[in-house]
């Protein structure tokens, strides 16, 4: 469970899923996105010689590949202070500029919420 008690339950869920993906796969970042129907897509960092994707961009790609038309929210669990411009751009492409991106530390505490735009 995340350490941010005042977080909306649906947002807490995607932070928890992102944290689990990071821990389970031993990757630098875990991410989860929620589409317009409430479905969630969870991913970790992809680091292959021929393919480098952040966890957020991987989760957005999974949502698109599964037929999502929009995003309600995204979450990333990372050591970084905030979501990168590239990650926010991917969320913005599918969810629009007002889509929230929750940035949590490895312990699940949400440190920042930024808009995709």
Report residues of the chain scoring pLDDT below 70.
1-5
Please spell the DSSP secondary structure of the chain, one letter per residue: --S-TTS-HHHHHHHHHHHHHHHHHT-S-EEEEEETTS-EEEEE-EE-SS-EE-HHHHHHHHHHHTT---EEEEEEE-SSSS--HHHHHHHHHHH-TT-EEEEE-TTS-EEEEEE--
Residue 32 is predicted with a pLDDT of: 98
Residue 6 is predicted with a pLDDT of: 83
Round to whole Å and give the CA distance between 116 and 41. Answer: 17
């Amino acid at each position: 469970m995340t350490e941010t008690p005042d977080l909306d339950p649906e947002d807490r869920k995607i932070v928890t899923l992102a944290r689990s993906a990071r821990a389970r796969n031993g990757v630098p970042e875990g991410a989860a996105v929620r589409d317009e129907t409430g479905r969630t897509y969870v991913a970790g960092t992809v680091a292959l010689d021929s393919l480098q994707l952040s966890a957020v961009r991987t989760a957005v790609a999974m949502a698109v590949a599964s037929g999502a038309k929009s995003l309600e929210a995204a979450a990333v669990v990372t050591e970084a202070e905030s979501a990168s411009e590239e990650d926010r751009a991917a969320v913005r492409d599918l969810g629009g500029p007002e889509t929230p991106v929750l940035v949590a530390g490895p312990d699940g505490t949400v440190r920042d919420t930024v808009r995709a735009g």
